[in-house]
A and B are shown apart, each in its own frame.
Chain A
Amino acid sequence: MALSTIQNNSLADTAVHGYRNLVINGAMVISERYGTAVQSPAPSGYGIDRWATYKSGSGTFSIQQSTDGPSGFSNSALITVTSNSTPSGGDYYIYSHKIEGYNTAQLDWGTSDAKDVTLSFWVKSSVTGTFSGSLRPSPTGYTYVFEYTVSSANTWEYKSINISGATVGTWNSTNGSGVNILFSLGQGTTYATSTVGSWVSGNFHGSTTETDLIATSSATWQVTGVQLEVGSEATPFEHRPFGDELQRCHRYYFKHKADEGNDPILGTASNWSTTGVYSYFQFPVQMRTAPSGSYSAASDFIYYIAGATKTPSSIGLSARVTNYAAEWDISSSGLTAGQAGWMRAANGNAYIEYDAEL
């Protein structure tokens, strides 16, 4: 086949045009933190991998990885208003995704060579009307507010929005936050603008005429298949293999937990002293930056050493954590310096999580 016969109608062929989607976990298939459990109220931060909820105001909502989706999608993010409120002033309620600068550097935003992009997604809402969202750098500077219309209640609808490349602003092009995508679920006047469909100076979440989901009791809003790609044409959603998507998520968050079998090994360890143990754990992929670490109680872990077991009195992330490995500082007693062993989960509650989110 001559190269000249490869035309735009081959855009659906992901074998030719793979790696188009700049969004990670746009199909909401990875949910390491909470699985499909409802989080009510929604956390102020990350829930479904790479996606976060934030709010300021008296209204509340829950977030859940739903198993409902349009044809071709097995999951979506489901937001349900649990306490409605009419937003005012600086109130805001948002669902957001931050794309790392390394992945958006190709856009040349902030220069005269800025490339246009297209945002596409599936949305389903119990409330109809005009909704809005925005793209912007982090922390602030310029905003592009877009609108979309939900025509039929409780019906999956496909939306695509062409966005002109940003020739203005300062955009991170390394491992910081490059482009932020925000879906507004309600806002007061502070973060609203009437300038829709073009870049505007300022820090906005959505439009002044948007429908505030948060104002309606028990309202629901779902989204999946979120794709941001270079160009002015929305192509079919890029379904990447689950393992591929999981690895991408692990650059930002990883949860090592004890719910996939008995006594999972958490890492090898050796005695630094009669009371101090150090354990080493290598991350499955190189993380975006040195992560923070959180963990369940020390009694959820057990240390196997020299034919015996020890329950740690404390554990903690040592100062020597990098973006590729962590060292754990464990305290116990009655040890012999120089011996080596390994750490296991003592029960199903054990977990260690690493966070290098944007």
Chain B
Amino acid sequence: MDEVNITSAQWIADPISGQTQAAIRATIAGVQWDVPISEGNRHYAEIMRQVQAGTLTIADAE
């Protein structure tokens, strides 16, 4: 029921810590969202579900 159309996803780097996979920038149902790495966040959960299903790939950070 809640499956969401995610057309792109890219890791966001953190310039302070140097972490290259600090958050995810994704286009979800046509809207760009910056998504934190948080298990309780519905966008993050759906991105990870689609990644595990092999239907979505998260691109490296710029």
Contact = CB atoms under 8 A, between A and B. Distances in A.
A292 B16 contact: no
A43 interface: yes
B41 A293 contact: no
A316 B40 contact: no
A294 B34 contact: yes
A291 B14 CA distance: 17
A319 B22 CA distance: 5
B15 A321 contact: no
A44 interface: yes
Contacts, number: 68
Contacts of B23: 317-319, 321
In terms of DSSP, what is the predominant structure of the interface of chain A? loop
B46 to A, nearest CB: 11
5 contacts: A44-B4, A292-B41, A292-B43, A292-B44, A294-B34
Interface in A17-70: 43-45, 54
B38 A289 contact: yes
A249 to B, nearest CB: 16
Contacts of B53: none
Interface in A155-192: 175-176
B7 interface: no
A162 to B, nearest CB: 25
B29 A44 contact: yes
A175 B40 contact: yes
A283 interface: no
A302 interface: no
Interface stretch (A117-125, A233-241, A350-358): A350-358
A44 B5 CA distance: 9
Interface of A: 43-45, 54, 92, 94, 96, 139, 175-176, 205, 272, 276, 288-294, 316-319, 321, 329, 355-358
Given A318-B14, A318-B23, A54 B34 contact: no
A357 B42 CA distance: 7
A329 B1 contact: no
Contacts of A45: 4, 29
A289 B2 contact: no
B34 A276 contact: no
Contacts of B31: 294
A308 to B, nearest CB: 23
Contacts of B9: none
A179 to B, nearest CB: 15
B40 A317 contact: no
A139 B2 CA distance: 9
Interface in B13-62: 14-17, 19, 22-23, 25, 29, 31-38, 40-44
B4 A272 contact: no
Nearest to A357: B42
Contacts of A176: 40
A276 B15 contact: yes
Nearest to B32: A294
Contacts of B37: 319
A76 to B, nearest CB: 23
Contacts of A175: 40
B44 to A, nearest CB: 8
Contacts of A54: 1-2
A319 B32 contact: no
Contacts of B33: 292-294, 355
